[in-house]
Homo-oligomer: A and B are copies of this chain.
Amino acid sequence: MSADDASVRRPTLTQVAELAGVSLKTASRALNREPNVAPSTGRRVLDAADLLGYRLNGIARELRRGATSALVGLVSGDLTNPFYSAVASGIERELRQHGLLLITANNDEDAALERSLVDAFLERRVRALLVIPSGSDHEYLSIEGNRGVPFVFLDRPPDGLAADAVLIDNAGGARSAAEHLLGRGHRKIALVADLKRMAPQKGRIDGFVKAMHAAGNNEWEPYVRTDVHDVRHAEHAVQELLALDPPPTAIFTTNNRLTTGALRGMRDIREQPALVGFDDFDLADVLGTTVVAHDMTALGREAARLAHERISGHTGPARTIVISTSIIARGSGERPPR
């Protein structure tokens, strides 16, 4: 279909209004989904537009204007991880308010796949691209950025290019988790962390280590397990840690998947160690799990807001927003050392 084909028999707004038996103004309002149109009237106008094929003209008009489509892309990890789905939900709600739609794609934590997804999104003329990048090298994005498509980084800072970013206070959150456990008398505190090469993990590890140093504690050192990348490995790592002699009396896990693994690994242990996990999660209240919480939908919302500002023409320098964290004490993090 080309713009010209459609324009040949283009029904006019007047025809739609006539068929629906409303004024031109009301027809226009109803088609633009403006408020103050009675539902039954709106329905009648939409039915009339459907009947006349008026929608097709919307596309034709868009092509004629040379407008790009009102799509915003998100490249992230798998949506079955509640962190990503909460972020996506926040983004989608914010975009919708600006008449923008969200396209999502899963990078499977693979930098090559991510690159080809970014390409695919740009080919489909997205208005902005939100990325929770898998790798640490984002220079390849800078070529695209120069083509005028704004990028916003979520959860992980851009490396090698200037772009807007919304991050979590990783170091601060980890430091308060560590201080929470130190404050209850723990010294043998295990650290179970994900891939060190990922910036949020690096921030959380640093925050934890700094708190230990500040407290003059080095008894945590035998209990560090990093590059633990999924639930199953976290479960095994925790089982292994608890089999040591002496075992750690407390555990800090640096994301929701590792906390799930730790809970599985601790399931059959009679004397449960203290546990604080980074990221809140569903049912943490039922399980009594103390967490470092942060507002994941706000993270998505803020990123979408920055993207929308860029789409609307904002051209200032790159901005970084940091989402704060707070400890939610539910029992597991308040267990004393044995």
Contact = CB atoms under 8 A, between A and B. Distances in A.
Interface in A126-173: 140, 143
Nearest to A106: B92
A213 B51 CA distance: 48
Contacts of A125: 59
Interface residues of A, number: 55
A285 to B, nearest CB: 7
Majority SS at the chain A contact face: helix
B66 A1 contact: yes
B101 A124 contact: yes
Contacts of A86: 79-80
Contacts of A78: 89
A297 interface: yes
A120 interface: yes
Interface string A36-77: 000100100010001000010011001000100111000000
Interface string A246-263: 000000000000001001
A15 interface: no
A178 B86 CA distance: 33
Contact of A123 (B55, B96, B122): B55
B58 A123 contact: yes
Contacts of A140: 50
B106 A71 contact: no
A102 B105 contact: yes
A312 to B, nearest CB: 19
A239 interface: no
How many copies of this chain does one complex carry? Answer: 2
B286 A267 contact: yes
B287 A264 contact: no
Contacts of A33: 116
Given A50-B143, A89-B79, A102 B103 contact: yes
B85 A105 contact: no
A39 to B, nearest CB: 7
A42 B125 CA distance: 23
A88 interface: yes
A264 B286 CA distance: 6
A104 interface: yes
A82 interface: yes
B120 A101 contact: yes
A85 B80 contact: yes
Contacts of A281: 282-283
Contacts of A115: 46
Given A50-B143, A71-B124, A263-B286, A106 B119 contact: no
A112 interface: yes
A119 B82 contact: no
A267 B285 CA distance: 9
Chain A to chain B: the 9 pairs with minimum beta-carbon distance, closest first: A85-B85, A79-B85, A103-B103, A263-B286, A80-B89, A79-B89, A58-B123, A50-B143, A80-B86
Given A33-B116, A46-B119, 16 more contacts: A2-B66, A39-B112, A42-B112, A50-B140, A70-B124, A79-B88, A80-B297, A89-B106, A92-B105, A96-B106, A101-B124, A103-B103, A260-B283, A267-B285, A267-B286, A283-B283
